[in-house]
Chains A and B, each alone.
Chain A
Amino acid sequence: MSNFFGLISEWFESIPRIPLAEWTDTMIAFLTLHLRGTTRAISEVLQTYIVGLQDLLTIIPPLLLILLIVIIAWRVAGKSVALLSALGLLFILNIELWDVTMQTLAMLIIAVFLCVLIGLPLGILAAKNHTVHRIITPILDFMQTLPAFVYLLPAIPFFGLGVVPAVITTLIFAMPPVIRLTNLGIKQVPHDLMELGESFGSTFFQILFRIELPLAKSTIFAGINQCIMLSLSMVVIAAMIGAKGLGGIVWSAIQTLNMGMGFEAGVALVILAIILDRITQSFGR
């Protein structure tokens, strides 16, 4: 018996090590070489938008912007959320973290916008097509479970340092719930409502926009909500490759062991998260 296992392990040891790491390196080198032109172009465009939005948000007088956000919160989420937003944002202004918060918000808006722009159609496609669903599901699992640090580094050769690779890694990490919940929301539309659409002579897109998406709305918003929360949780990690904002403050606080500064930035992040969470949650209703 022991002889048998001996043979087996001997045989197993004779198999050479699978060079996954080397393959990955070669692969990334290859991709960098051939895709760099494209990725750098994308990078520049993204950079323009993010910086543009950051500038816009910091140019508007803070009190005016706070008023605007409070009005939006009041319209979509009611009085208490509006009050909460007002207090929270004024506090951020008071502790002089306004500009960095706006940097983070701009990055967040762009990242979430891209997540929806890419994730929503993919979710719809996955709901409509079984093959797409079968291909996408393991990729999503992979995207969500692979530690962010692992793809943080390869993002640099493609997109350089700074806010763009930060947004890209945020995308990878935060997009899966948009895809998953869009897919789920559309699949949950009752069969007879689909039949209704078809029997009255609706086209594919009429069924999509008049029946499926409105009925899947709250599920999709739950996905967007999760996406925002995941993006926020990436803020500090993103700061490691040069995204500034609140994450940058936290990161440098960690490096200099400046606990007070880290805590302030952390609280500002939490405030931002709560406001965004409440507002998007009530969109879904």
Chain B
Amino acid sequence: MESKLIVQHLTKIYGNNTAKAYEMLKQGLPNDEIRKKTKQVVGVRDASFAVNEGECFVIMGLSGSGKSTLLRCINQLIKPTAGKIILDGQNLAILPSKELIEIRRKKIGMVFQRFALLPNRTIVDNVAYGLEVQSMPRDERYKKSLAAIEMVGLKGWEHYYPANLSGGMQQRVGIARALATNPDVLLMDEPFSALDPLIRQDMQDELLEIQKKLHKTIIFITHDLDEALKIGERIALMKDAQIVQIGEPEDILLSPATEYVARFVENVNRSKALTASTVMMKPRSIIHPRTGPRTALHLMEKYGISSLFVTDQQGGLIGYIKPEDAAELINQGIKKLDTIIKDDAPTTNLDTPLSDLLEILAHTKIPVAVIDEQNILKGVLVRGAVIAGLAGERMRFDE
């Protein structure tokens, strides 16, 4: 896939004499030492990544790790000390200011942590701000703004003032404002951090809904792993101004690149105290010896799964079968599954904590069977569902 946005060796040093600090940084001196020697603060240190068209890319890290700085370097609100920001093949870092203004107007929208609404303007005039600075005629910009307001579910509020709205609604206005100019890229700096947890989850769901329709390229900042896992297709983890790992949510969870990431992940598990029973899915299984290879293969194709558990009449786990083996049996005209059932299925108990499950999941390609004390198959664990469980989204057992 084409990369929409490429960030290369981006470095930002705060201060009035960054040249010397940058030299030291290139020599590999740690941030602390650079700060002590030159009084310059390293905000972002040699960050590189690429974001695909339509991808939701999350940047996560603790407070002060440089997330906001990185985000603001992308649209040049902060001028980087070094590095390239390539959007659609154009390096924004060296763009003349006139062209930069054009890019900001047409291609990049931004959503702020503290909403940044203009208190003296009505909702619709807030949303229309981006169109207004493009000198769009009033009727046209109102039409577009109303469409954006409707998309975030605030229809009917357009003539109120920000002070009349709750925090969640204010941030919807912020999102509508960013959508109104129809940019390709959305920069979101901890957009939901100022909201209370329930509203926050609603807003996350809503963002995902909007994203399903609009397929924007989103750079989303958060310090909350739950949020990152839920929203991000890929996640970059920042620590001390550096990106320490980039990967899909499961990579981050299953193979943390550093001690730091591991601790971050562990915290989530502990706080959630989730077990296998809370994140398992309804098992797809067949009963032996009642079912033959044709039915088994049909089921696997129907559900798009690459292995199927086999139980006895009472639901006790026997093993699992693979589709290619079932197909082979059909070819040979054999009606019984006995020969292809594998009995090395990974299993776990209902109350195994999630942190241990990650270990098990990391070492297996087939789903993990969840069994009770009587060896009865109760559910299966698939990676996606476990990750989603971590992200706070309960899986429905029956669909």
Contacts and interface: CB of A to CB of B under 8 A. Distances in A.
Given A193-B118, A211-B118, A214-B120, A202 B112 contact: no
Contact of A215 (B101, B110, B118): B118
Contact of B133 (A195, A200, A215): A200
B101 A201 contact: yes
Given A192-B112, A210-B132, A210-B133, A199 B104 contact: yes
Nearest to A192: B116
B75 A199 contact: yes
A218 B256 CA distance: 53
Q: What are the 5 A-B residue pairs with the smallest beta carbon separation, nearest first?
A: A201-B105, A201-B104, A199-B110, A200-B130, A192-B116
A196 B103 CA distance: 15
Interface string A208-222: 001100110100000
Contacts of B101: 201-203
A206 interface: yes
Contacts of A196: 110, 112, 116, 118, 129
B120 A215 contact: yes
Contacts of A200: 104-105, 109-110, 129-130, 133, 177, 181
B77 A198 contact: yes
Nearest to B72: A195
Contacts of B133: 197, 200-203, 206, 210
A192 B108 contact: no
A215 B116 CA distance: 13
Interface in B133-172: 133-134
* Interface of B, helix, strand, loop or mixed by DSSP: mixed
A199 B181 contact: no
B110 A201 contact: no
B114 interface: yes
B77 A199 contact: yes
Interface in A167-197: 190, 192-193, 195-197
Interface string A139-167: 00000000000000000000000000000
A198 B118 contact: no
Interface string B39-83: 000000000000000000000000000000000100101000000
Contacts, number: 59
Given A199-B104, A200-B133, A201-B102, 8 more contacts: A190-B116, A192-B114, A195-B116, A196-B116, A198-B77, A200-B109, A200-B110, A214-B120
A132 to B, nearest CB: 19
A217 B132 CA distance: 20
Interface in B313-348: none
A59 to B, nearest CB: 39
30 contacts: A192-B112, A192-B116, A195-B110, A195-B112, A195-B116, A196-B112, A196-B116, A198-B104, A199-B77, A199-B104, A199-B108, A200-B105, A200-B109, A200-B129, A200-B130, A200-B177, A200-B181, A201-B101, A201-B102, A201-B103, A201-B105, A201-B133, A201-B134, A202-B101, A203-B101, A210-B132, A211-B118, A214-B118, A214-B120, A215-B119
Nearest to B121: A214
A192 B170 CA distance: 15
Contacts of A190: 116
Contacts of A201: 101-106, 130, 133-134
Contacts of B129: 196, 200, 210
A199 B77 CA distance: 7
B314 to A, nearest CB: 63
A198 B130 CA distance: 10
Given A198-B104, A201-B102, A201-B104, A193 B130 contact: no
Contacts of B134: 201
Interface in B159-217: 177, 181, 187
Which has the most chain A C-beta neighbours within 10 Å: B103, B113, B116?
A: B116
Q: Please indicate which of the listed interface residues A197, A200, A201 has the most CB atoms of chain B within 10 Å of its own CB.
A: A200
A145 to B, nearest CB: 34
A203 to B, nearest CB: 7
A88 to B, nearest CB: 32
